[in-house]
A and B are shown apart, each in its own frame.
Chain A
Amino acid sequence: MSTKEMNHLDKLEAQSVYILREAYANFKSLVMLWSIGKDSTVLLWLARKAFFSHVPFPLVHIDTNYKIPEMIQYRDRLALEYKLNMVYGQNTEALKNKQTYPDGTIDRLSCCKNLKTDALKNTLAGTWPRWRMDHNLKKYVPDEDKEPYTGVIVGARADEEGSRSKERYFSPRDKYSDWDVGDQPPELWNQFKTDFAPGTHIRIHPLLDWTELDIWEYIERESIPVVPLYFDQGKGERYRSLGCYPCTFPVKSTAKNIKEIIAELKTGKFKNIAERSGRAQDKEDGGLETLRKQGYM
């Protein structure tokens, strides 16, 4: 008797689950970044696949304080429902001193660096405060744990943007979070870099081989809840990629649900329009590659 042939989603799922389990088996201080967007939400779902409905590591969100409010509500709803070990970090200093783009004091890229890159680095390192969801109180409390996180699972996809296509599944960063694109460890036969010198940390990219369409097809197949911001609410526009509201713009679309998004992508409508085209910071000088070299995800 032969079993059903695996389709492309089955294969992607099997590979991502394998990578997640390798990460969990090899890194003690492991976390998953959850941006609340569709990709990292699929990643969260794949973790539940890998660990049979459990998520055995913290989920870390960097709250810039400028996220679209629905995103935060959705985050906390799922955190409670899935009993996630939910942690968030923030650049409270920059917000207090009004060193942000919406405050009009700095440009977009510098704002990203302050609110995202620096907040991320210091939250991971444990040098800035973290807040953790207390499931009894159903609210966030200051986190006692100050240990650095050395393995970070990220939902980057190779087809999103040029610099991401050069990534490996397991990608070491040195202690300054620098990424040496030219000299990366070899990866073959599902053997990844799992040994590393003190001071380095590893980023793990289980979604590297997924496309935007794969993500939506998988969301549909698995009935994964997503933020409604991805759907047209009647204004003839929707978000294709989510971020901070001062720098994220919707695309023209009348897709009202997952099925319609899939149909829309299949028409090839966005074929020559970058998925992150609604993200203003990518268009600044240097763009995402500069941000990524500094440690942006």
Chain B
Amino acid sequence: MENLIDKAKKLFGGETMNIDLMPKMNIVVVGHVDHGKSTLVGRLLADTDSLPQGKLDQVKADCQRNAKPFEYAFLLDALKDERAQGITIDTARCFFKSKKRQYIIIDAPGHIEFLKNMVSGAARAEAALLLIDAKEGIRENSKRHGYLLSMLGIKQITVCVNKMDLVSYSEEVFNQIEKDYRAFLQQIGVVPEQFIPIAAFHGDNMVLKSDKMPWYKGPSILEMLDQFKKAQPPENQVFRMPVQSIYKFTADGDDRRIIAGKVETGKISAGDDVIFLPSNKRCKVKTIEGFNIPAQKSVAAGHSTGVTLTEELYLQRGDIMCKLDETLPQVSSLLQVKLFWMNKRPLVMGKEYKLKIGTAKVSVYVKKINHVLDASNLNSAQKTQVERHDVAELVLETKTPVAFDLTGDIEATGRFVIVDEYDISGGGIITSMIRDEQADVRDQVVLREQKWDFSIVDRGARAKKYGHQPKFILLTGKVGVDKKTIAKEIEKDLFESGCKTYFLGIGNLLRGLDVDLDKKARGEHIRRMGEVAHIWMDAGLIVVATASNLNDEELRMLQEVVSRDQVMIVNVGKNEFRQGLVDVQLEANAPAAESVKKIRALLTEQKVFAV
């Protein structure tokens, strides 16, 4: 054994090499308990000369003194003690190196809350080694971890069949495990890079090829690691930049209004036409901004950046900035997902959670549980909730539509976490989009925005001149609560304070624009009202309208036709809408002046007059 280590050191160790200078790659080691994770890590550290001098001999001597067999786990424990004294080797992040690069093993074994740590570590890994004990064979966590790796998006997976010495280095045993585990991985769409038979404790096929298994022609573990590819930011995909914030720092006369975010995929240049989704706002990039960098005309995937636009659009964190001439993300409130759950409290139907995807954060409910899978055998369990460590296929419904991609298309905008109260409790990937009730209207509106012919008077300039942003104030409620009086009073009040405003009587549409429609075509009447309001808003006006007996879906449709953040929904009288949909609630018989005051207050709060 010593001999092998010396040989390996000669080949792979370099006394003169400073590991800080080498390219780095994060890897994660997973597998069922006792299948040899510590041994593999310890042996890699030893064989690549990544241990403090004399450490290995010292631990072995300790073992001999105490008459216990040496285990690499003791070596890792010893390193941990030493680290506590200030030397920079670490079991939470072990470092070792090949001739090609430095490897960082994130989250070596030994944590209590295993799954949360494994997921946090593995999500940052670029490659994974999954261990299976040759003698014990495939066990529960062999499968669960394989499944989690695939959901976490780790593409480079090598399966190490360990403890080959315990099965007399049998090719048949190895082949059988490979066949069975490959079949399992195939079910979840994972194609492993390689299966390697090893005896980690003895160093077989770790760094050097083992002479005990001449039938194995593939690479050793270290050779395999060196074959893994470094991921580069996906610049060749379509452009996606989730908006992190909109900055306007006025100190020192800075008048830039910067849309900040990290380019997840693709590339953007000054002059490009962009659209923000799901809010459906279109604009053009004016400049690419940065601090202490040379002026740049474009910026590509991987960079945290900022852009200014040719117009001062009202935008919010959470939208995805996309290029108008590229494939756009999906927008829906219904998502088909795969999810894993990490919280002691189960994920249940009917409870409100928060969904975080990109920089967006919206309320979400479980609409349907398709399957709860036992991740260890992929059998469906008959469950009405998702418990800790379960993997499930679900339909989620968000309170407001979100923009996303399918994980298969773009990873960064295709995965999400779920927050239960204060804790990130689940993670998942979006496998398909389900068209919700507003899908048709939404498609039509995207097309409308893409083709919209803008005037040369820009929207920001118009708002500045008029002293306010455009807005659509929609009053609804039962027939007979006198919404119209309030609506007209608001119009008058705004008009008298200098606003450009207009009361849009829905009856005026019925006998004009809508004259071709059947009286029963209620949805279309409402859509057209929305489109008319949209045109007036493009003209910069505050539009006030009333409509009786609207329901949740009709309001949602209007929020599609007119951008969601530009609609103020006022309900008069009894409120039967879904929670959170109504912006202002008014009493049925309150004095009009009071109602006007309330609406004005909210307009001010929403910064409609701040231009």
Contact = CB atoms under 8 A, between A and B. Distances in A.
Nearest to A283: B86
Nearest to B242: A190
Contacts of A83: 251-252
Nearest to B299: A3
Contact of B304 (A21, A213, A267): A21
- Chain A, interface size category, equals 35 or more
B250 to A, nearest CB: 9
B306 interface: yes
B351 to A, nearest CB: 15
Interface stretch (A89-97, A107-115, A155-163, A230-238): A155-163
A242 to B, nearest CB: 17
Interface in B263-317: 267, 289-292, 298-300, 302-304, 306, 317
Contacts of A160: 88
B345 interface: no
A145 interface: no
A228 to B, nearest CB: 22
A69 interface: no
B88 to A, nearest CB: 6
B123 A161 contact: no
B20 A166 contact: no
Given A50-B304, A213-B20, A56 B249 contact: yes
Contact of A11 (B83, B124, B245, B302): B302
A272 B120 contact: no
B422 A197 contact: yes
Interface in B322-365: 342, 354, 356, 359
Interface in A12-52: 13-15, 17-18, 21-22, 24-25, 48-52
Contacts of B119: 186, 188
Contacts of A162: 80, 83-84, 86, 90
Interface string B413-443: 0011101011110010000000000000000
A14 B303 contact: yes
A25 B302 contact: no
A165 interface: yes
B121 to A, nearest CB: 9
A189 B424 contact: no
A251 B290 CA distance: 37
Contacts of B412: 189
A276 interface: yes
A212 B18 CA distance: 13
A43 B147 CA distance: 38
Contacts of B252: 83
Contacts of A3: 235, 267, 298-300
A17 B263 CA distance: 12
B246 to A, nearest CB: 10
A165 B267 contact: no
Interface residues of B, number: 68
B116 interface: yes
Contacts of A53: 254, 291
B139 interface: no
Contacts of B317: 25
B304 A13 contact: yes
A75 to B, nearest CB: 20
A268 B233 CA distance: 31
Contacts of B21: 213, 266
Nearest to A162: B83
B112 A183 contact: yes
Contacts of A197: 422
Contact of B93 (A21, A158, A182, A185): A158
Nearest to A6: B302
A213 B21 CA distance: 9
A80 to B, nearest CB: 14
A166 B113 contact: no
A241 to B, nearest CB: 11
A189 B414 CA distance: 11
A277 interface: yes
B86 A193 contact: no
Contacts of A225: none
A191 interface: yes
A212 B419 CA distance: 35
A57 to B, nearest CB: 12
- Of A21, A163, A211, most buried by chain B (CB within 10 Å of CB) is A21
Given A21-B244, A160-B88, A189-B417, 19 more contacts: A14-B303, A14-B304, A25-B244, A25-B245, A49-B292, A51-B249, A54-B251, A83-B252, A162-B84, A165-B92, A184-B117, A188-B123, A188-B424, A195-B354, A213-B20, A222-B292, A271-B18, A272-B52, A287-B85
Q: A-B pairs with the 6 shortest C-beta distances?
A: A188-B123, A274-B86, A17-B304, A162-B83, A54-B249, A268-B18
6 contacts: A8-B23, A14-B303, A17-B304, A165-B93, A186-B427, A274-B87
Interface of A: 2-3, 5-6, 8, 10-11, 13-15, 17-18, 21-22, 24-25, 48-54, 56, 83, 158-163, 165-166, 168, 182-189, 191, 193, 195-197, 211-213, 222, 265-268, 271-272, 274-277, 282-283, 287, 289
Interface of B: 16, 18, 20-21, 23-24, 52, 80, 83-88, 90, 92-93, 111-113, 116-117, 119-120, 123-124, 152, 232-233, 235, 244-245, 247, 249, 251-252, 254, 256, 258, 260, 262, 267, 289-292, 298-300, 302-304, 306, 317, 342, 354, 356, 359, 412, 415-417, 419, 421-424, 427
